[in-house]
Amino acid sequence: MKKKIRVLIVDDSAVVRQSLAEIVNSSPDLEVIDTASDPYVAATKIRKEVPDVITLDIEMPRMDGLTFLKKIMSQHPIPVVIISSLTAKGTETAIRALEYGAVEIITKPQMYSKDFIHESKVRICEAIKGAANARVKRKIKATPEIQVQPKYTADAVLPPAIKHSMIKTTDIVVSAGASTGGTEALTVFLKALPPDSPGIVIVQHMPELFTKSFAERLNELCKITVKEAVNGDTVIRGRALIAPGNYHTLLKRSGAKYYVEVKAGPFVNRHRPSVDVLFRSTARYAGANSIGIIMTGMGDDGAKGLLEMKVAGAKTIAQDEKSCIVFGMPKEAIKLNAADKVLPLDKIASYMISVAH
């Protein structure tokens, strides 16, 4: 039998602890070994048994989750998934949590509907599995291969093109996708770009609210403009558009102009937004005028889409294993021979600029 991923849940609400425990234990690959009402209780329990993954709320009494996270990562690094019902103001704190070492941030499930609860289960369980496979500052015990559940493909949002017919233009567009560890990878990549770099569309697996704060923070750090994508936004030089959480984002074309379509739809590869959806739309509407980049992340979202881009004539890049937090998505793309180049993170920006000219 495969060893289960052991999870410690830290939240000041007894109701939330119970609900999260039921969600986690519903996955055959996961088990809750304990729960804690605050970081002090959690620290005591960690001394007795070290979990594979910690789920952590940010807003708690006695010690806030952000302070506890900093202590964990400096003293005994353990993969942490932030699960919080933060307001728009609080999302800035969540982005800071990623900088301090949290592997993922997801929103706390709320009892709106059966579909909403099901999607929350998928997000939470997949985030924990991804965290268990993530590289943290100190080497952690390897976890077993995770059994992947059945999932939708990009066909659920956009059918594959029968043929690719693309007028060559001088404008190059870039589509990039990332998941676990992607916030750090995208920060390194985008900060290295000059102000006149090609227009970029990005899918980073993040929930609603958090993508806007992430984009705003990147906009402060980068030479290019970075913003959360809005339906109809044009893709222009010197600007990166980040797909909003919980919405698929597709590249479209009208004449010589590229723009994005932001739309609802089913989970694809257990994600919304999905990298495969973005890459397929880029293959269809940009073809040889595009560059595809797949970065760190668990699973295989984007692998098939990157291959479709390559077949359509696009230049394609995958992040190498050594620089990935989780070598999942790039690995699957490389196995499909979808990547023209496999590069370390710090070389991707310069190579992209070189092939764009």
Report the C-alpha gap between 115 and 15 in whole angstroms.
Answer: 20
Q: What single-letter DSSP state applies at residue 159?
A: P
Report the C-alpha gap between 194 and 238 in whole angstroms.
Answer: 8
The residues carrying an active-site annotation are: 179, 205, 301
Residue with token string 């996708």: 177
Report the C-alpha gap between 165 and 109 in whole angstroms.
Answer: 44
Question: Could you tell me where the DSSP H helices lie in the chain?
Answer: 14-25, 39-48, 65-75, 91-100, 114-132, 182-191, 210-221, 275-285, 303-311, 329-335, 345-356
Q: How long, in residues, is the chain?
A: 357
Question: Coil, helix or strand for 348?
Answer: helix
Yes or no: say if 249 and 274 are a contact pair by the CB < 8 Å rule.
Answer: no
